[in-house]
Amino acid sequence: MLALQYIRENKNSVLKGLEKRGFKSVELIDQIIDLDQQRRSIQTKLDSHLSYSNKMAKEIGYLFKSGETEKANTLKEKSTAAKELTKQLQEQLQKVSSELLELRTQIPNIPDESVPAGNTEEDNEEVFKAGEIPKLDSNALPHWELASKYDLIDFELGNKITGAGFPVYKGKGARLQRGLINYFLDRNTAAGYKEVQVPHLVNEDSGFGTGQLPDKEGQMYHAQNDNLYLIPTAEVPITNLYRNSLLNVSELPIALTGYTPCFRREAGSYGAHVRGLNRLHQFDKVEIVRIEEPQNAMSALDSMVDHVKSILNELGLPYRVLKLCGGDLGFTSALTYDFEVYSTAQKRWLEISSVSTFNSFQAERLQLRYKDKEGKKQSVHTLNGSSLALPRVIAGLLENFQTEEGIRIPEVLVPYTGFDLIN
């Protein structure tokens, strides 16, 4: 959520950023500024009134002690009336503050100046490409057929147990999945990220803190009896480890990694582009999260991008990096780089990772601050990225490394899988 002071002092920049996103309800900004003025005015009156009431209480106590009972009782009557006014002001403040919060939650993050203009994924900017796209023969198969041929993944069995989008991994498919998880975690911890294991269900406060709630698009699974939500990404519980925290500058930066299953309803997803592992309701992902001082956030983002590149280089997958345009940015993101691996059998690019900085947007919702070297309280900047989401990595490995003898396993994964060929 955008800080109120930032909105007040940078109205034109905010409106310009929202325009880059294609955000239509710009009138909300003026409403927020007006409500904030009301809130501050009521707060000033309340503070003044509370100060007067405190002085009055001390005076009443002094008069009773001095034996001036009549004067004390007269002042006590005034005090009763003052308490009523205090109550009214507190109620007004609560009402205006609630209205203000509701409006603020509707405003997305402001894109970084470097974010390209545009409305759709076609407007995203390719900033990097690496790896050679293999030339497969005419008999090359898409990953869902390879998964069936080698008995690696059973989509129908998952559908029987739960429903579409919940695959069952079997044999070497399960070992490949497990091997990738361990490989990703080892690479992340070697790069300085501390591993954590976190809950897979979160409460409303956690969902609000990272911006998944309110869930406007209905993408989260909700356990209604307990009012808990299945996580769409490990970003949610990991970042919320520090919700309502005041950190010392000496504790920064914080770098964490964790593996979790992820759950997304993916409402409205259908068609050939979601076949096989392309779009799932449950999938595994290894996440990296950083909490940084504002001045270090962009260099941290660059290091996260380089880290994901190094993993993909080791796997030998052809990939590209896109800087997302304003219209394709997530609600909470200020700047996002998408990683896509080329699916040779499907002849298209598949997203396998997103690395984002949120500036102070999440920190405002989380009430996550730090004390700088001068002792001043400031909001931190938060960042996160997938390193990596497993389904499309597996899809890329199966399709790009298929041979007549079987599916070749990248050398770096062999110690984790225990085999170098699926046949």
pLDDT (0 to 100) of residue 59: 76
Residue 274 has pLDDT above 80, yes or no: no
pLDDT above 90 covers a percentage of the chain that reads 83
Residue 413 has pLDDT above 80, yes or no: yes
Q: Are residues 242 and 159 in the same domain?
A: yes
Domain of 82: which CATH number?
Answer: 1.10.287.40
Residue 166 has pLDDT above 80, yes or no: yes
Q: Are residues 286 and 350 in the same domain?
A: yes
pLDDT (0 to 100) of residue 268: 53
pLDDT (0 to 100) of residue 87: 87
Task: Give residue 143's domain range.
Answer: 121-422
pLDDT above 70 covers a percentage of the chain that reads 98
For residues 3-19, average pLDDT: 96
Q: Are residues 292 and 379 in the same domain?
A: yes
pLDDT (0 to 100) of residue 267: 63
Q: Are residues 70 and 170 in the same domain?
A: no
For residues 288-316, average pLDDT: 98
In a domain, 140, yes or no: yes
In a domain, 97, yes or no: yes
Q: Are residues 156 and 218 in the same domain?
A: yes
Q: Are residues 216 and 241 in the same domain?
A: yes
Residue that has been written with the tokens 């030998």 in this structure: 316
Q: Are residues 132 and 167 in the same domain?
A: yes
For residues 268-286, average pLDDT: 79
Enumerate long-range contacts of 268-277, CB under 8 Å, 24 or more apart.
275/142, 275/144, 276/142, 276/143, 276/144, 276/147, 276/155, 276/395, 277/143, 277/144, 277/147, 277/153, 277/167, 277/391, 277/392, 277/394, 277/395
* Counted domains in the chain: 2
Q: Are residues 165 and 244 in the same domain?
A: yes
pLDDT (0 to 100) of residue 273: 58
For residues 189-194, average pLDDT: 98
For the chain, what is the mean pLDDT?
A: 93
Q: Are residues 56 and 187 in the same domain?
A: no
Bridge partners (DSSP) listed for residue 283: 262
One-letter identity of residue 199: P
CB 354 within 8 A of CB 339: yes
Q: Are residues 182 and 48 in the same domain?
A: no
Q: pLDDT per residue over 258-269, tens digit each? A: 999 999 998 655
Domain-ending residue, one of 52, 75, 104: 104
For residues 362-391, average pLDDT: 96
Q: pLDDT per residue over 309-358, tens digit each? A: 999 999 999 999 999 999 999 999 999 999 999 998 888 999 999 999 99
Bridge partners (DSSP) listed for residue 248: 371
pLDDT (0 to 100) of residue 83: 77
Query: What DSSP designation does 26 have?
Result: T
In a domain, 205, yes or no: yes
Q: Are residues 148 and 260 in the same domain?
A: yes
Q: Are residues 235 and 364 in the same domain?
A: yes
Q: How many residues does the chain have?
A: 423
In a domain, 416, yes or no: yes
Name, in order, each residue with C-beta under 8 angstroms of 291's C-beta and a sequence gap of 6 or more: 239, 242, 247, 252, 253, 254, 368, 380, 381, 382, 383
In a domain, 170, yes or no: yes
